[in-house]
A and B are shown apart, each in its own frame.
Chain A
Amino acid sequence: MADGQLRVYLDSCVVLRYLEGDPDIVSVLDPVMHQIKQGTGPVSLYTSQLSVTEVAYIVDKHAEGIREDDLEDIRMFWRDAPIMKVETTVHAAELGRSVIRACRHLTPPGQDLSIKARSVDAVHIGTAQWVKAQEIWTTDGPLLKLNSVIDRLEIKRPYNPKPQLFEI
């Protein structure tokens, strides 16, 4: 991995929105992934292996009438898209535990619970911290609310850091 690149951790929501064909997400991820494949991108993408399972669960539970060919395309996506899949290590889990504690201090008992990291959020955030991602890209509102909580890790909606002049 080249130094100086922006390391971005993708939340499962962003991947699902890409697979759904959401134009806002596709218009960001397609150029970013294309640039990574060309070796010219300013961004490298990461996600947890947990995201693969989360996408599979959501598809299995909620995607009615999906065809076998489409499932195969999703499998190929995980295999070939330039997104590095990261396993959940003890270290990532411990970083996640720190996130839960940091959030607990922000939310006094009985008060606003909107800023709160639950266990799975913490695994994703801990994994992002572990790979030294500078940003998490998500479309999930509660996760976006944690943006200012974690040191050296911004949580934001996907954007293209190097806009293209021409469509790919």
Chain B
Amino acid sequence: MTKNYCPQIEELILYRLNLLNSEEHRWIEEHLKTCQKCQREIKIEDEIEKELAIRLDPGAIETKVLRTLRFYKNCKGIRRDVSLLSLIFNSIFIVALSFCTGIVIEILWNEILPPFKSILSNTWLISTSSISILFYLLCLFFGLRRIILKVVE
């Protein structure tokens, strides 16, 4: 097969990828022996392919991966995924429970110990609020445990 013109770049690329039929492949092979312009194109292809074949090294990641795996293995069994919805509901429930208990106890104590009413009332408000906040923080911690563990790790 003889053709008196140069192959298109696309054909040269297909030639490099070995995707031409044998007749076309042979024609380009023959053509390349004499055509400097196409030889130059092939050289450019070589450079591109050389770059595409370069291996990039991430460094020594083995230890870090194994350490993380060990860490996850140790955390196995701990419930790490708590949905945001359950987190909100749990928090509301615990805060409401603390205040309801507070009100009930305050009513009862008002009946029993009237002279200490104001002191008890203030103390109770502070303590119920503290307990509520503490419960809330605990809920938040368990809810966001996965993220916190990741940050700590």
Co-assembled chains A and B: no
Chain B interface residues toward A at CB < 8 A: none
Chain A interface residues toward B at CB < 8 A: none
